[in-house]
Amino acid sequence: MSLQKNMHELEQRLNGLSASEGLALMADLFPGKVVFSTSLGQEDQVITELIASHQLPIHIFSLDTGRLFPETLELLGRTESKYKTRIQVYYPERESVEKLVADNGINGFYNSVENRKSCCFVRKVEPLKRALAGNEVWVTGLRAEQSANRGGMKRVEWDEGNQILKYNPLLDWTYDQMLDYIKEKGIPYNPLHDKGFISIGCAPCTRAILPGEDARAGRWWWEDSKKECGLHAK
């Protein structure tokens, strides 16, 4: 199937399918070319469980930025152990990190949105491009209700920056539906979620949210922005 052609047809085929059925369909249509990026968040843990429990031929990878919470790294090990799978980890290029820190300081991302986006690019966007290279479908854990700028996303989209189809199997899942599934299946999750950390990224850039705050308010909490790092730029 052509990547950009027949996207409407693909969307129609996915409508009415469960997340696991949709993942199986994509793996069948694009054999050996479907990859899933996990940040070990609750949504991503659900997708990992779906891939593992149905033994779907979808490669799982993660990005270690060098600034992750210890709880996130510990969860990576627990997840591999539970599902008896290896999650490939991509790291930022050493030279790029060293230059970033030399230019902006160890915590220079607090000083401006531009600095923060530069940090995200070096630590996340560039490693992601390496991980996606040569593949045709990128599976993500995005949900429409996570934020206003994600509410307009479709189940299948063309990611121009990475020249790849993006598939969002949990797009229409609610937060409560996700939590119920995690409990039902005994899926391991980050203990920080129980402390008010709903969306978890790098440790210096994430805080717990307050009652009534948007789920992503704790990301880059010191700035007024769309709360995106560039991985899912529109």
Report the alpha-carbon distance of residue 112 to residue 108 in Å, rounded.
Answer: 8
Q: Enumerate residues 6+ apart whose C-beta is below 8 A from 167.
A: 14, 22, 23, 26, 34, 137, 138, 139, 140, 155, 156
- Which is nearest to 34 in space by CA: 10, 58, 60, 13? 58
Q: Are 150 and 171 in contact (CB under 8 A)?
A: no
Amino acid at 104: N
Radius of gyration, alpha carbons of the chain: 17
Q: What amino acid positions are annotated as catalytic residues?
A: 229
Cβ atoms within 10 A of the Cβ of 178, count?
19
Q: Where are the alpha helices (DSSP H) in 15-112?
A: 19-29, 42-53, 70-83, 94-104
